[in-house]
């Protein structure tokens, strides 16, 4: 036998990845990252494609105008609107945090709630305008 002491068995740690257990600033952070990826991979290319098609000819403009009158397309557009608005408001929040505004626990939680509420309210306002 060797003189190496035996270490007790290391048990794996359980990480609860459920988003519902995260505090508000954690939710805002994760949604900010997800919305950034969605905008980079889907929203910006889609907007550029639609812009190209609508500026190319009057027929293309009328075709996309008829697409955007469909309710399912309007719901998808609202999802993209929320993605953009949440990313915008969360980005402003992070810029304020970078200059040490609202860095204490209570103001940080309040600013996270404000970001979530502003994103939803602004999306509802755009939705009312679309319909």
Cα–Cα distance measured from residue 34 to residue 23, given in angstroms and rounded to the nearest whole number: 17
This prediction has a pTM of 0.83
Tens of pLDDT along 17-74? 676 788 999 999 999 999 999 999 999 999 999 999 999 999 999 999 999 999 999 9
Helix (H) or strand (E) holding 98: helix 71-98
Chain mean pLDDT for the chain: 92
Q: Do 49 and 42 contact (CB within 8 A), yes or no?
A: no
| The pLDDT of residue 2 | 61
| The pLDDT of residue 113 | 97
């Amino acid at each position: 036998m060797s003189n190496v002491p035996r270490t007790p068995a290391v048990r794996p740690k359980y990480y609860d990845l459920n988003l519902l257990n995260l505090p508000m600033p954690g939710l805002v952070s994760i949604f900010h990252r997800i919305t950034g990826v969605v905008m980079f991979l889907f929203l910006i290319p889609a907007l550029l494609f639609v812009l190209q098609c609508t500026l190319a000819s009057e027929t293309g403009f009328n075709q996309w105008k008829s697409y955007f009158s469909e309710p399912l397309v309007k719901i998808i557009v609202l999802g993209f609107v929320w993605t953009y608005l949440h990313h915008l408001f969360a980005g402003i929040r992070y810029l304020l945090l970078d200059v040490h505004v609202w860095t204490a626990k209570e103001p940080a939680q309040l600013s996270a709630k404000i970001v979530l509420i502003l994103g939803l309210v602004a999306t509802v306002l755009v939705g009312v305008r679309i319909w």
